[in-house]
Amino acid sequence: MTEVLPRVRRRKRQDWAGYVFLLPWFGGLIFMIVPFVASLYLAFTDYDLLTPPRWAGLANFREMLGDATLHQSLKVTFVYTLVSVPLSLAVALGVAMVLDRGVRGLAIYRSVYYLPSLLGGSVAIVMLWRYLFGYDGIVNDLLATIGITGPAWTTDPDYALSTLILLHVWTFGAPMVIFLAGLRQIPAMYYEAAQMDGASKWRQFRSITLPLLSPIIFFNLVQALIASFQTFTQSYVISNGSGGPAGSTLFYNLYLYQKGFAEFDMGYASSMAWLLLMIIAGFTAINFLAARYWVFYDN
Amino acid sequence: MNAPHDGPRLDRRRLLGLAGLTGLAATLPACGRGFGGGGGDDGKIELNMVWWGDAQRAELTAKALDLFQKANPGIKVSTEYQDSSPYKDKLAARFAAGNPPDLMAMRFDSLREYADRGTLLDLSQHAGLDQSALTDSARALGQVGARSFGVPSGLNTIGYIVDKTLTDKYGVSIPDGDTWGWDDLAAFAKQVTKASGGKVYGTNFEPWTVANLLVFARQRGEDFFTPDGRLGATEATVTAWYQLVADLRKAGGIPPAGFIDQNNGASPAQSYLAKKAIASQIIPTNGLLGFNQACGGNLQLLRIPGETRGPRRGQSVDTPALWSIAAGSKHPAETVKLLNFLINDTEAAKAAGVTRGVPANRTIAEAIGSGLEPDNRRSTEFLNKLQNEKLPASYPYPVGASKLTNILKTISTEAEFGRMSPTEAGNQFITEARKAIAP
């Protein structure tokens, strides 16, 4: 208890510096608050972009209940999130652990693996991806050499979403770098002690690595989940904005965009944006509640 | 290596803060940025003109605008262009932001979305615009009732192109392009696929493109959209359309399911025809030059099959884009002057060529005809011949019609992979299309 007081005082002294560094963010916030409030208002209107919005009460939200396309877009987004988030985090952790063993040229590997996560959402990479996975693209050419007839990766509604999940997993670099930093923070003495007690590698992973890394896993999970719900570019480019083939890559955000800008229904699009905000907030809240039971803070 | 307790640690409070901030920032809507317009800094009136297209079209457009600015030293025209799909979205956003361009290229299927909402200038009220040299059907493309909200920037239609180098190679003769029917197309396509050993598919036309289905419906005696803005196509017609496609696919005349990427893009160089994966396809006729360059220079231009077989003609004279003026333009008189120049000035038409199709002004179309490249002359003659025939008129699509693009795409994919029978596809399309167009 006696230690607490000076600690708090020290933190206070440091606080103002933090706020100064945050100033640009607060400046930017003003430009966000206005559209934020505007979209809340528009969510309750009938607004076609070209004529002034008319108050519609809850009509947009009622319409959502019976909108089969909206339900399809929710399904696509949830499937994508539930599959790609755990998968990409697992790959990121796996690669980080391999690199953490002290590979020669670590800096190079780290950069190479990190690169896709910088480029993955970019138009050029998605175009390239479309080319690789085309009906007679390089992937199917390679499969053909070992006697497998590959599917139409991007044009078959049964495969198109999996191709996008693959693209997402490929961009595991960002969480990997964070995992790597986290692994470096785990004191080597824990492993040494465990080894002396004869713990297997798996046992060490479960009892040392996972608990000590759990705050990092949690951070990556929250980040990945939020980002995943907001996926847009990949399907916009692959399907040229249509969400095709047959609605199989119609992400929630893409449908929102279609509604707002292609179908002149910005009121509905705004209410969709708020539903998404609530969904993300809900998932994030569940995440934080669940975290009490599995995230271990070493302080 | 650092001792663990000296390094930065993540505790619950910081994590909460971090995750909260990034989450909040990411869910907020992004601000759009408008772009310029208004008065110039040198006392000139500045008009903003936007359109879609490529660099080649930009160069030709700039030439025509130079002539206008030379003749009107008090007016400066700033232009912006981009691809058609982002163009469409940006245009809507600019209107929403209260910063519409003065003169804009308007999609034929979007005209009424804008016009019916009072955002476009009624051109019939402006004496400065002379549309007298246009045919009635060309003028009708931009008319809603007695009012006029757009002038065709050029005229085109759709045509069937066949790569004669390929058909010669495989010894298949091309049917007569004026009188062939859909069954001739099927027989021809099957023959090409067979003769090439499956290396080249006989044809591919986009069943998911509204303009194609529209011609098919008219050949069967139906208006796809009625003049009063309803859906006129029947379920039987849409079913027949998908049956036609299914039969073609079964016979091998068109590629198997999944081969064609609906979103491959419209550029000739990327087309399956240029890659020699197919031997024929439908194009907008103003694209003939580009396709012929990309495909090796031996393309034949045919009419759409079935023109002489059904109860009436299906093809019509259309426009790749209309020119419209914003009702909120600060300089309507000057913008009308610019539009009139683009439509009725022979030198401007010569400079711009036929990148947007054949000039709607018939006198000018004849005047520039002889100076064109052979391919452009061919597509121009193809269109002029049609203009002299009695064809059904095209009307601006009703409000909501732009939704049909995605509906037809989705249903075409379902049918392509056999997840819907032609009957189900026909039924589904009519149901969804009615809902989309309902007032």
CATH topology of domain B45-155+319-387: D-Maltodextrin-Binding Protein; domain 2 (3.40.190)
Work out the minimum CA distance from B58 to partner chain A, whole angstroms: 23
Per-residue pLDDT tens for B69-119? 999 999 999 999 998 888 988 999 899 888 999 999 999 989 999 999 999
Edge to edge, the sheet with strand B151-152 lists: B75-82, B45-52, B103-106, B322-325, B151-152
Q: Which of residues 134-173 of A touch B (CB under 8 A)?
A: 134-136, 151-152, 154-158
| Site from A185, A212, A229 to mutate, B interface, most B CB atoms within 10 angstroms | A185
Edge to edge, the sheet with strand B158-163 lists: B280-284, B158-163, B299-302
CA distance B262 to A244: 9
Within an 8 Å CB–CB cutoff, is residue A122 touching chain B? Answer: no
Domains and CATH numbers, chain A: 62-294 (1.10.3720.10)
| B73, B10 Cβ separation under 8 angstroms | no
Kindly give the pairing relationship between strand A54-55 and strand B158-163: unpaired
Q: What is the DSSP letter of B264?
A: S
pLDDT at A289 over 60: yes
Amino acid at A133: F
Q: What is the pLDDT of residue B263?
A: 80
A61 three-class SS: helix
Candidate CATH numbers 1.10.357.10, 3.30.1120.130, 3.40.190.10, 3.10.20.30; the one for domain B158-315+400-437: 3.40.190.10
Q: What percent of chain B has pLDDT over 70?
A: 90
Within an 8 Å CB–CB cutoff, is residue A111 touching chain B? Answer: no
Per-residue pLDDT tens for A11-69? 566 788 888 888 888 888 888 888 889 999 999 999 998 889 999 999 999 999 999 99
| B271, B339 Cβ separation under 8 angstroms | no
| A133, A165 Cβ separation under 8 angstroms | no
Q: What is the DSSP letter of B119?
A: -
| Site from A34, A40, A47, A49 to mutate, B interface, most B CB atoms within 10 angstroms | A49
Interchain contact, A238 vs B263, CB within 8 Å: yes
The lowest-confidence range among A234-248, B60-74, B199-213, B244-258 is A234-248
Place of tokens 């024929």: B280
Place of tokens 């020699």: B276
Mean pLDDT value across residues B379-399: 90
Q: Which of residues 174-213 of A touch B (CB under 8 A)?
A: 184-187
Tokens of A145: 């050499």
Interchain contact, A299 vs B1, CB within 8 Å: no
Interchain contact, B89 vs A288, CB within 8 Å: no
Mean pLDDT value across residues B241-264: 94
CA distance A49 to B117: 10
Within an 8 Å CB–CB cutoff, is residue B439 touching chain A? Answer: no
DSSP result, B88-112: HHHHHHHHHTT---SEEEE-TTTHH
Candidates B28, B113, B261; nearest CB to A134: B261
CA distance A166 to A246: 19
Work out the minimum CA distance from A89 to partner chain B, whole angstroms: 17
| A251, A76 Cβ separation under 8 angstroms | yes
Within an 8 Å CB–CB cutoff, is residue B276 touching chain A? Answer: no
CA distance B302 to B286: 14
Interchain contact, A242 vs B262, CB within 8 Å: yes
A246: chain B residues, CB-CB within 8 Å: 410, 413-414, 417, 419
B121: chain A residues, CB-CB within 8 Å: none
pLDDT band at B313, cuts 50/70/90?
very high
Go through chain B and tell me how many residues it has. 439
DSSP result, B190-245: HHHHHHTTTSSBS-B--TT-HHHHHHHHHHTT--SB-TTS-B---HHHHHHHHHHH
CA distance B295 to B292: 5
Name residue B49's beta-bridge partners. Answer: B79, B103
Within an 8 Å CB–CB cutoff, is residue A128 touching chain B? Answer: no
| B316, B137 Cβ separation under 8 angstroms | yes
Interchain contact, B413 vs A244, CB within 8 Å: yes
Interchain contact, B263 vs A39, CB within 8 Å: no
* B425 backbone dihedrals φ, ψ, rounded to 5°: -65, -45
CA distance A4 to A13: 15
Q: What is the pLDDT of residue B25?
A: 41
pLDDT at B340 over 60: yes
Tokens of A112: 């190479």
Within an 8 Å CB–CB cutoff, is residue A121 touching chain B? Answer: no
Q: What is the pLDDT of residue B89?
A: 86
Whether B158-315+400-437 and B45-155+319-387 are alike in CATH topology: the answer is yes
Report which secondary-structure segment, H or E, holds B161. strand B158-163
Q: Which of residues 287-306 of B touch A (CB under 8 A)?
A: none
pLDDT at A94 over 80: yes
Delimit the domains of chain B by residue range.
45-155+319-387, 158-315+400-437
Interchain contact, A227 vs B261, CB within 8 Å: no
Tokens of B337: 């002057």
